Structure 1
Amino acid sequence: MPEVLTREVPRLAATEVPKTLVEALDPAWLSIVLARSVKGVETVEVIRTVATKVRFAVEFEDGERSAYCLKGLLDVDEATARGGPTCVLESDFYGRIAPLADCTVPECIVTVIDRERQQAVTVMRDLIVQGAVFCSALESFTPDDAVLSLGQIARLHARSDVLAQFDWIRPRLSQLAEMTYVTPETLQELLDGPRGDGLPSQVRDAPRLVAALKSLAARDVQRPQFLVHGDAHAGNVFRWNGGMGLIDWQLLQRGGWALDVAYHINAVLPPEVAEAEERRLLGEYLKMMRGHGLAMPDEDEAWLQYREAAIYGYYLWSITRRVDPPIIVEFVDRLGKAVARHGSHSLLHA
């Protein structure tokens, strides 16, 4: 069984959250954060999506070198900075949940959180230097790969008992269903674009999709609540030491297990493979969860919840804009075809 990468509780550094990449890589700031005198910093790689991830190497005054990865909202405009609460949520995951969880996640060294401004950065060991390989959002898994990644999701879900301790982990699906910044008109424009090509018209109907999401949220909150990753596509999975691990905890939430499982299976597998393998993979997940000692629904009820929950991942990618278009198109296609195949709208009476 793969070794877990982190178990120690990261430090919470009492210093300002940097706003720019230059500030984040400043040796004086890093000396405070890492609690060691930093002599020099070398930038290895900068990846900018909504948040910035920067891999860098540090040389300490005593001559030792270490490799790190820092993630946060750096050099962003005011609108993007409003997403800071998701960075706080991710830092809180690493600082408070990860030491209790059994899934494989990056080793977090320190978090820096400004709760008043709702901004945060997380400093982790560089996984690539440790031998990890990040999966691509456009990489199709094999069914055997999906069994391994579902095993990580099951390990996360199995620690849902921690929800009683942490009321700041919210039912994000309910919040998503009530948000207003993406209007049905805007959503329809997006679905009428290239991302919707190849999908049947009933799946590209924005008002119907919004209604289905609201119906799913109303049902989901009445079901047993699990510790849910919330964004479990292949780009948030890494391979390490013969197994897999999970990254990107900005959509961490409490919700039904099927939100992760239906999203994950249909995002990581091509539609024809998902159609052929999903019932078996769902059975593997349920067996793993029962092996962890959790009571799960029977196969028929689980299949129903799985089919309904396909709406969640499809909606997430339908409203996505700040990601490379080929990734958006691929995920909307995979997840939209799952929604059509399972008749998710009809199941949700939308």
Structure 2
Amino acid sequence: MPGARVERISVLGGDNGSSARRVLALEWNQEGQAASLPERVFTKSTPTLPMRLSAGKAAPAEGRFLTDLRPHLPIEAPQCFYTGRDPVGGRSLHLMNDLTHERGATFCRADSEIDRAQAEQIVDTLAVLHGTFLHGSCTLDSSFLRTYENFFDAAARNNIEAGHDEAMIRAAHVIPAGVLARKASIWPSAVEAARMHGGSPRTVIHSDVHLGNWYITEDGRMGLSDWARVCRGFWGRDLAYSLMTVLAIEDRRAWEQALIERYCHAFSKQSGTALEVNDAWDAYRAQACLALLMWTPTLCPPPTLPDMQPEATSLEMIKRITTAMDDHDVVTMA
């Protein structure tokens, strides 16, 4: 807006994890006020070396997804006003709308309860995302996104396997005995599951759809935030990772059949390609170990990664995922 200028910036709060997150209050001059420019914005940046190692390389893709692709998706998700990255030092910055101020959003936590209607919104959101980009004939260009295997291989180079092994000992009190007895098979199963992404039809996946990345607007819509790991991969990852983390264990057991059926219907409608329920179940089980590999190294991060979540959150997510693995005999399938 010509003539618009920020005259004062105040930091209202924030926290640090895989990135530094802050809420800023902006005071505009008369031109900015007349244009109704946002009074609050949300920033994501990577000021520290561990943050840049963890998320810095993904920042350009996240920013481009939010600016180029997100506006075409009829889903509840953040809007990005500006994105930039220093190609030499790796520092990055995203400037987005403040969802709490603008949408009355409440961000989910490990103890948040997701009801059936909200769970249905979650699978509908994923089906729209996955179905939109399933075919190469989609006019929206997502080729700039990394593949899921790129992310997994980078994490492996950061020695997440050691963190996983340590966490399986540290979190043993929340892990079912059947999974603990076969813990040696989890890493090889995860490697195999990662390779599935190259042999399956690719689409755009969020890839980090755990409970803490969902929010609820004041009008009851479920939204999906933190697109730092958006990539091209297999839709089964998001389906498994979401249902195994967003739902309380008993709710997942009661609802997952119906939710997977709902996902298949919505996915088929959005993509124009039929997805059979049995195939979705196979994918759901096969991708479970990769979901776990997001949380065991979070509980026990290697030296190259930052502390990203409170211990209680990591333990709850590990409990939910490993219980789902036990329920569906995932480790005996390896």
TM-score of the superposed pair, with normalisation by structure 1: 0.82
- For 2:143, the equivalent position in structure 1 comes to 167
Are residues 229 and 116 of structure 1, via their aligned partners in 2, closer, same or farther at CA, if it must alter by over 3 Å?
Answer: same
- For 1:301, the equivalent position in structure 2 comes to 279
SS of equivalent residue, structure 2 residue 108:
coil
Which of 120, 136, 152 matches 1:176? 152
User: Is the Cα–Cα contact under 8 Å of residues 163 and 254 in structure 1 kept in the other structure?
Assistant: no
Which of 79, 89, 97 matches 2:50? 79
- The letter of the residue matching 2:90 is Q
Query: Deviations along 1:138-195, whole A, 9 cap, x unmatched?
Result: 11312221101211111211221459833232222464157232254442222100x3
User: Is the Cα–Cα contact under 8 Å of residues 226 and 256 in structure 1 kept in the other structure?
Assistant: yes
Are residues 117 and 294 of structure 1, via their aligned partners in 2, closer, same or farther at CA, if it must alter by over 3 Å?
Answer: farther
Are residues 35 and 177 of structure 1, via their aligned partners in 2, closer, same or farther at CA, if it must alter by over 3 Å?
Answer: farther
- For 1:115, the equivalent position in structure 2 comes to 87
How many Å apart are 1:259 and its aligned residue?
Answer: 0.5
Between stretches 259-268 and 117-126, larger displacement belongs to 117-126
User: Is the Cα–Cα contact under 8 Å of residues 196 and 333 in structure 1 kept in the other structure?
Assistant: no
> After the TM superposition, which residues 1-350 of structure 1 pair with which residues of structure 2 at under 5 Å, given as runs?
36-62=4-30, 64=33, 66-74=39-47, 76=48, 78-83=49-54, 84-138=56-110, 139-160=112-133, 161=135, 165-173=141-149, 175-176=151-152, 179-182=156-159, 184-193=161-170, 195-201=171-177, 203-204=179-180, 207-240=184-217, 241-320=219-298, 321=301, 322=307, 323-347=309-333, 349=334
How many Å apart are 1:116 and its aligned residue?
Answer: 4.1
Task: Specify every segment of 5 or more residues in structure 2 that has no aligned partner in the other structure, as ranges.
Answer: 302-306
Q: Which structure: greater helix fraction?
A: 2
Take 2:62 and 2:172, find their aligned partners in 1: how far apart are those partners? Answer: 31
User: Is the Cα–Cα contact under 8 Å of residues 67 and 81 in structure 2 kept in the other structure?
Assistant: no
Q: How many residue pairs align between the two structures? A: 313
- The letter of the residue matching 2:192 is S
User: Is the Cα–Cα contact under 8 Å of residues 148 and 197 in structure 2 kept in the other structure?
Assistant: no
Are residues 190 and 39 of structure 1, via their aligned partners in 2, closer, same or farther at CA, if it must alter by over 3 Å?
Answer: same
Take 1:72 and 1:163, find their aligned partners in 2: how far apart are those partners? Answer: 30
SS of equivalent residue, structure 1 residue 306:
helix
Query: Deviations along 1:266-301, whole A, 9 cap, x unmatched?
Result: 101111211121111000111111222431331212
Take 2:261 and 2:144, find their aligned partners in 1: how far apart are those partners? Answer: 31
Instruction: Name segments (4+ residues, structure 1) moved above 4 Å.
Output: 161-164
Take 2:293 and 2:12, find their aligned partners in 1: how far apart are those partners? Answer: 35
SS of equivalent residue, structure 2 residue 174:
coil
How many Å apart are 1:227 and its aligned residue?
Answer: 0.8
Take 1:70 and 1:35, find their aligned partners in 2: how far apart are those partners? Answer: 23
Task: Specify every segment of 5 or more residues in structure 1 that has no aligned partner in the other structure, as ranges.
Answer: 1-30
How many Å apart are 1:206 and its aligned residue?
Answer: 5.1
- The letter of the residue matching 2:291 is G
Take 1:183 and 1:208, find their aligned partners in 2: how far apart are those partners? Answer: 15
Between stretches 250-259 and 176-185, larger displacement belongs to 176-185
TM-score of the superposed pair, with normalisation by structure 2: 0.86
How many Å apart are 1:196 and its aligned residue?
Answer: 3.1
Among the aligned pairs, what percent are the same residue? 19
* Higher relative contact order, chain-length normalized (CA < 8 Å, sep 6+): 2
Take 2:185 and 2:211, find their aligned partners in 1: how far apart are those partners? Answer: 27
Take 2:113 and 2:106, find their aligned partners in 1: how far apart are those partners? Answer: 13
How many Å apart are 1:100 and its aligned residue?
Answer: 2.6
